[in-house]
Amino acid sequence: MNYGKKNISTGLLVLATFMAYGFGLIYMRDFAPDKVEWIANSHTGTHFEARLAHVHGNLFALLNIILGYLLLNLNIREIAKKWISILLLVAFLMPLGIVAEFTLGVPPIFVLIGAISAVTAVAWFGIEVYKSDKK
């Protein structure tokens, strides 16, 4: 199975999306009619959460691209590849959950699920890579 390919593809698409989102943030900071007010509020509330979502969306996209490539090319157990790949994709719930929080008022449960999924995937992958050297 090509575990990792979906991570790379999804990672690239999410990266492009959050890059465009970042350009929107730049517009708000530099060109919008109310840019002075936007800058004054950028360290709190919705503005801060918007920046958090941008950073984490890009981070998790890059993690999916890099770790997806490694999943395709490293010799670790197939069952581990499958679940690490799934957990990395579920991790996108974190930045999407942040956006859902400040736009729709959704509780932070998706942020927590995404964060736990990301940490679990990366730690599990590290253990699998370490164990693969012993084979």
> Model confidence over 59-71: pLDDT tens digits?
999 999 999 999 9
Q: Residue 116: which domain range?
A: 5-132
Could you tell me if 18 and 65 are in contact, meaning their C-beta atoms sit under 8 angstroms apart? no
The model's confidence at residue 41, banded by pLDDT at 50, 70 and 90, is confident
In angstroms, rounded to a whole number, what is the distance separating the alpha carbons of residues 58 and 78? 27
pLDDT digits (tens, 9 = 90+) for 62-99: 999 999 999 999 999 999 999 999 999 999 999 999 99
Number of folded domains that form the chain: 1
Tokens of 58: 């890009």
| Closest of 87, 91, 79, 74 to residue 130, by C-alpha | 74
